[in-house]
Structure 1
């Protein structure tokens, strides 16, 4: 591991945030929801005539352990399928990573917008149907963002979206680790989240590779933690925390005030493990996948000639000197292999091969011979690569003459050695 990676800004950000998480651990009883939510001006005191409904988030209703609805199964599969590749090999994905980052960056605001603007009845009279509709809308937004992020014009936007999403994901995980959020004052939680998102935006400008590694790992671990928590706790764990953090809908005020957010112990453990694994998995990605994040020839050439690049991958100006596995350079032209038939005791100028039609074999004619050429030797080479054969009783050996030197008898071994 190079020291330059540890000295980058994103790694320090992770360490600072982890220290904030350690400081936030409190074994005292959590305050009730009424001590928090009145500061948010929610509830019937602000909206006395607002009809109240269930605070649905598109993840399915709570039915206890062991019961999964169609939306909940979809979100478990979606979070695992998108989060695992990002956490394991996000820096290697390039356009797939930017596509996923832009898709997540687009579908998350869509989900927040619908949750905060839908009426008490939801998107449909049936709660389950409303969850399915909201799930399809969010999925459609993700697909649109994925397509744009995969195209060349959306790569840079996808990188920015991925890094901002990484900061937001880390801030959200920190905020929902405790009962009724990390800090009792609601606005401070969002100050932390927005600050981490801005840090992700700034670091991608100054240190692109390190920022993309930390961001993809953070987003991937967040989605993996969400998938595991949904499978274990349903909508009582992280799902409830996300609604408590994002849902400011007046039609959901009563449910937020009465129930608040009290994460199960398993949810807190999952979040702690996900946060603590961010530095470890980031270092693992850095070791397993060297090279720049962008896979263009210009970016690869710039990285390979950079003095900060590890020596094993540096070219020193010659692009064909070292070719890591991820580089798509065409292989160098193959050099013709020459067969050394008759070594010489001293360097002797070899004759260039000259084609003579009279030496061609005419299907058994004894008056002509055949010259078998293993390979063509360029002029001024010390190796003779012309293998001479002919009809029985004759041999041809290449010389300065066009037709070669004819012997009436097969050459003996001493003669061959003398000529060599």
Structure 2
């Protein structure tokens, strides 16, 4: 009963913060979301095309398309992302709290994917790299993160990352509800997103289980909504909105100035449904999965607990014992919480 009350209180606070954020009027000072995004000078040629100049050298900054790995239409990169998002998002939203090592692995993998994707798109030149290559690189790095996340030594950091990701994903959906994002200043949009991310991380300190329930539901519904939107609106929906948030590459500036993020009615419906369904998924997981998160075997017998001092050389088995301890460390935990720091 206490967990239910905490879940309701947490969601009540989150919904009120969201309402306050959405009620803030958009400042008309900057006519475009990218007006204060970078330092380069923005001008227009006689034919109407956008020209980006380096303010120091007055030289033109070469411009390229900001596709950022999402492909076009139902190309191979787009299909890969759709399959990935739905395959990871749906189970995380419906049963993430029961995922144990799978959930912690996914948390680290998602964090690696987001960070590596953002780093690459903001560091390439105007030529960039192909969408399929970028997709393969970030997914390969994400797989390595998943492998690291399944081990016991990364459990706490994985839980923290998932709570941060859950909060950030909630804030992103808030900013993506309006045309040209929530605010005309990119910094203000990210401030709102970071506030939700920090709130998700701090919630883990207050109560592990409630924080993980909300984090799993948040991250899962966000990934699922992004995958569904890619099917219906392709690269002009949430995909473009996320690129507008993350891409600060000077070589992509003209691309985003010439195009404006305008969420369609279907995109907004998908966003609203994902936000509203988040507490429902969190509460459903709380009701369905009541068992402890750690999966311990039966208690050891008296004979197994007896101390034994073998005389033979065990140095050959030290490496095996070390890695076994890393993997099976959760068996030593006696917490009754599904996710416990």
Q: Pick the TM interval, shorter chain.
A: 0.7 to 0.9
- Secondary structure of the residue aligned to 2:177 is coil
Partner of residue 35 from structure 1, selected from 32, 36, 39:
32
Tell me which stretches of 4 or more aligned residues in structure 1 moved more than 6 Å. Answer: 30-33
Is the partner of 1:37 in helix, strand or coil? coil
Q: TM-score, normalised by structure 2?
A: 0.79
Shift of 1:18: 3.8
Q: How big is the shift at 1:34?
A: 4.2
Q: CA deviation at 1:182?
A: 1.1
Measured at CA, do residues 250 and 72 of structure 1 come closer, stay the same or move farther in structure 2, by a change above 3 Å?
same
Question: Does structure 2 conserve the Cα–Cα contact (< 8 Å) formed by 1:181 and 1:261?
Answer: yes
In 2: Cα distance, 1:195 partner to 1:138 partner = 26
Q: Which has the higher contact order (CA 8 A, sep 6+)?
A: 2
Greater share of helix: 2
* 8 Å CA contact 1:33, 1:180 repeated in 2: no
2:109 to 81, 103, 107: 103
State how far apart, in whole Å, the 2-side matches of 1:265 and 1:89 are: 29
Task: Kindly indicate whether the alpha-carbon contact (under 8 Å) linking 1:14 and 1:279 is maintained by their aligned counterparts in 2.
Answer: no
CA-based RMSD of the aligned residues comes to 2.4
Q: Look up the match of 1:5.
A: 4
Give the TM-score normalised by structure 1: 0.64
| The one of 92, 97, 122 aligned to 2:128 | 122
Q: Provide the rounded CA distance (Å) in 2 between the counterparts of 1:99 and 1:4.
A: 25
Instruction: Indicate conservation of the 8 Å contact 2:93/2:221, yes or no.
Output: yes
1:360 match: none
Following superposition, the deviation at residue 293 of structure 1 comes to 3.6
Contact 2:38 2:250 (C-alpha < 8 Å) held by counterparts: no
Following superposition, the deviation at residue 175 of structure 1 comes to 1.0
Gaps of 5+ in 2: 43-52, 296-329
Structure (1 or 2) with the larger CA radius of gyration: 1
Count of aligned pairs: 289
Tell me how far 1:114 sits from its aligned partner.
0.7
Cα deviations by residue, 1:239-285 (Å, 9 ceiling, x for unpaired):
00001111110011111112121112111110011001111111111
Segment of structure 1 superposing worse, 74-83 or 39-48? 39-48
CA distance in 1, matches of 2:281, 2:223: 15
Aligned-pair distance for 1:291? 3.6
Gaps of 5+ in 1: 62-66, 124-129, 305-325, 327-420
Aligned residues of 1:34 and 1:257 also touching (Cα < 8 A): no
Q: Kindly indicate whether the alpha-carbon contact (under 8 Å) linking 1:79 and 1:227 is maintained by their aligned counterparts in 2.
A: yes
Q: Corresponding residue for 1:183?
A: 183
Aligned equivalents of 1:249 and 1:257: distance in 2?
A: 12
Q: Which residue of 2 is the match for residue 79 of structure 1?
A: 85
8 Å contact from structure 1 (residues 94, 293) kept in 2: yes
SS in 2 for 1:35: coil
Q: Counterparts of 1:80 and 1:35 in 2: how far apart (Å)? A: 32
Q: How does 1:284-295 map to 2 (within 5 A)?
A: 284-295=284-295
